[in-house]
Amino acid sequence: MIQHLKSSVVEGKEDVSELLSLEIYKAKLKAAEGFSEVSVKALALFVRFLLIGFILFFFGMGLAFLLNELIDFPGIGFLLMGMLFVIALFLFKIFKKKWVERPIIKMYMKLLFPKKEKD
C-alpha cells in the first residue's frame, strides 16, 4: 500500500512537472505569436509611411515644376508646395491624437486583448 502511494506521488510529481513545462511552452508560443504579429504590423506601417513619403515627394516636385511653368516665375511652385506641406504639418500636429495615437492604441488593444469567440 505504501509502495503504491509512493509510486502515485512520483507519477503525480512527473505529471505536474510535465504540465508546468507545457504551460511555459504555451506561454512562449503566445508571446512569440504576439511579438511576430506586432513586428509584421510595425514593418507594414513603416513601409506604408515610406511609400507615402516618396509619393508625396514626387507629386510635390512635379506639382512645383508645373506651378513654375504656369506662373512663369522660377521657384514660386516650390514655395507654394513648401507652404502646403507646412500647413499639412500643422494639421497633423493639431489632430495627432485623433489621427495617430488613438488608432495605434486601438491596434495594440486588439492585438493584446482579442475578443473571445462564443462557441
> pTM for the full model?
0.55
* The pLDDT of residue 51 is above 90: yes
Report pLDDT for 52: 92
Predicted local distance difference test score (pLDDT) of residue 116: 67
Q: 54 vs 15, which has greater pLDDT?
A: 54
Most distant CA pair in the chain: distance in Å? Answer: 105
2-16, pLDDT tens digit by residue?
Answer: 787 778 878 888 888
Report in angstroms the alpha-carbon separations of 15 from 5, 6, 12, 27: 15, 14, 5, 18
In this predicted structure, the answer to whether residue 53 has a pLDDT above a threshold of 60 is yes
Higher pLDDT, 4 or 76: 76
The residue among 75 and 113 whose pLDDT is bigger is 75
Assigned C-alpha cell, 107: 491596434
The whole-number average pLDDT for the span 22-33 is 87
**Alpha-carbon gap, residue 69 to 63, rounded angstroms:** 10
